[in-house]
Amino acid sequence: MRPADKSPESSNEFDITQLREILRDELIAILDTIRGSKALVLDKDLSGALSTIVDFGVLKDHGVEKIFLLDDGPLDTGTIKGVLYLTLPHIRKMKLIAEQVRASSQSGGVPKEYSLQLVPRRTLLCERVLEEEGVLGDITIG
């Protein structure tokens, strides 16, 4: 007789809870690399998935004061200095980010520190688009 917890079926099951914890810890580590208050700018395609990984209370505990969806137009981050973009690596999204970075620097408000986290990974094409748009030097890519 085998103990119930040692069955082959239970050892091969995918543990979604562990994956959520790993992803939450990685996001927190990214947030903690940015000093002070921050704005989180989410790709619309990732926002639903993020809500299953971490709640706003945890984000707030790690300095997130505002959350935006990545969209056309400038960001109203006010006095928030750190801006973290969390997005899929698509050309159109890089152009939106570039527009927002340029608009912010032209407005003469509080200087911003921009970070970009591409999910699932960074690509040379996205970096090239940001370079062509003239903002690659203004963004830290994770």
pLDDT in tens, 95-123: 999 999 999 988 877 889 999 999 999 99
Q: How many residues does the chain have?
A: 142
The yes-or-no verdict on residue 1 having pLDDT over 70 is: no
Q: What average pLDDT does the structure give for the chain?
A: 89
DSSP state of 13: S
The yes-or-no verdict on residue 16 having pLDDT over 90 is: no
> How far is 78 from 27, CA to CA, in rounded Å?
23
CB 81 within 8 A of CB 110: yes
* Strand pairing category for 38-42 and 139-141: unpaired
Q: Determine the average pLDDT of the residues in 78-101.
A: 96
The yes-or-no verdict on residue 8 having pLDDT over 50 is: no
Closest CA to 109 of 97, 100, 117: 100
Angle CA 73–75–80, to nearest 5:
170
Question: Which tens digits make up the pLDDT trace of 21-59?
Answer: 999 999 999 999 999 999 999 999 998 888 888 989 999
Edge-to-edge strands of the sheet including 82-87?
Answer: 64-69, 38-42, 82-87, 113-118, 139-141
Residue 136's pLDDT band, with cuts at 50, 70 and 90, is: very high
The torsion of the CA quartet 122, 128, 133, 136, rounded to 10 degrees, works out to 60
Closest CA to 65 of 109, 100, 33, 31: 31
Q: Determine the average pLDDT of the residues in 66-90.
A: 94
> Which residue would you say has higher pLDDT here, 40 or 12?
40
pLDDT confidence of residue 12: 56
pLDDT confidence of residue 140: 96
Q: Of 8-12, 50-54, 70-74, where does mean pLDDT reach its minimum?
A: 8-12
